[in-house]
Amino acid sequence: MAAVKRVREEMGLKNLMVMVPFCRTPEEGEKVLEVMAEGGLRRGEGGLEVHVMAEIPSNVLEAEAFAELFDGFSIGSNDLTQLALGLDRDSERVAHLFDERRETVKALCAFLIEKAHARGKTVSICGQAPSDYPEFAAFLVERGIDSLSLNPDALLRTVREVAEVERRLGIG
């Protein structure tokens, strides 16, 4: 917390936001916000935004409750895929089953985007999937995701795919 306060207050970089990882329940989210406030970081104060990673199925299925606490969501596609499919992508036995393009994972992403937007919250994604699979990035854009995180080597290819989707949808 001291580093965040220093960057925001002493360095004047008020656009720095906090991203809370692996927050399992809304109650845990409340506790995180309480601890931050005790340390002098209050959500909304001085424009401070606090987002939550959506990397656990509970983040998605309880999106409305998490949306009451946080300013936005960032899909952690690697962890969400592992936990939704019940596998370890680093295990030789089941790694071949790891795929963010599975209908289960796509349904969770679509559900989150819908529920978050209904509450006026943004949704981004930080994970390997949009970089590896342009069709997954296109799927997320079709569903209305607010921003994508990409690896540099995938940027041009994915931007072209996204531009085509936006052109087709009339939103570009």
What are the DSSP calls for 19-68, one per residue?
EE-S--SHHHHHHHHHHHHHTT--TTGGG--EEEEE-SHHHHHTHHHHHH
Per-residue pLDDT tens over the stretch 32-68:
999 999 999 999 999 999 999 999 999 999 999 999 9
Please give the pLDDT value at position 172. Answer: 65
Check which CATH number belongs to the domain holding 24 and give it: 3.20.20.60
**Euclidean distance between CA atoms 77 and 125, whole angstroms:** 7
Please give the pLDDT value at position 161. Answer: 86
Residues of the chain predicted below pLDDT 50: none
Q: What is the pTM of this model?
A: 0.92
Please give the pLDDT value at position 76. Answer: 95
**Euclidean distance between CA atoms 45 and 48, whole angstroms:** 6
Number of structural domains in the chain: 1
Which domain does 159 fall in, by range?
2-169
For residue 168, the Cα-to-chain-centroid distance in whole angstroms is 25
